[in-house]
Amino acid sequence: MGKIKPGALYVGSGRRYVDSQALHNIARTHEVVEMQGGGWRILGADGVVACSLVNSRSPLPQQRGSLYEVSAAHGVLLSMARTWVAHGQLSIHEAPAEPARASCGGCGAACACGPCQHKHGHGTHEHDPREGAGGTK
């Protein structure tokens, strides 16, 4: 296996994110399957890590490709992240706090907030992590 560009795992404000480059690298050693409704699941011996596409956040420092919010059972992400760091698949960064936003009162297909855009399928173009952060093989 050649040298890989590490992706990023962002940690901060009680949330965790990975970028497309990290998912692409992880797909070399773990099974990564598409979730119904969008996003990806990373299957490992320690459990499952769900990665949901984030549309409503400004790009983070050193982010390559799309950004995904990560969720997993207690201890699963920590255990798997240690392996990913050890294999050079990603590096860990502090996620800057999100700027305060007005709450969305106009939820619907025409609403511009990130959750509504994702729910209604607007701007949800994402790349298959098995194809690389740029979306090409």
DSSP class per residue in 18-83: EEHHHHHHHTTTSEEEEPTTS-EEEEETTEEEEEEEE-SSPPPTT--S-EEEEEESTTHHHHHHHH
For 118, list phi and psi in degrees, rounded to 5: -65, -45
Fill in the amino acid letter for 50.
Answer: A
Q: Is the pLDDT of residue 70 over 80?
A: yes
The model's pTM is 0.72
The confidence score (pLDDT) of residue 104 equals 54
Q: Please answer whether residues 111 and 118 qualify as being in contact, where contact means their C-beta atoms are separated by less than 8 angstroms.
A: no
Residue 80 — very low, low, confident or very high, per pLDDT cuts 50/70/90?
Answer: very high
The string of pLDDT tens digits covering residues 46-66 is: 899 999 999 888 999 999 999
The string of pLDDT tens digits covering residues 94-113 is: 998 876 555 555 555 555 55
Six-digit token string for 83: 């392996």
The confidence score (pLDDT) of residue 56 equals 85
The string of pLDDT tens digits covering residues 2-16 is: 688 999 999 998 999
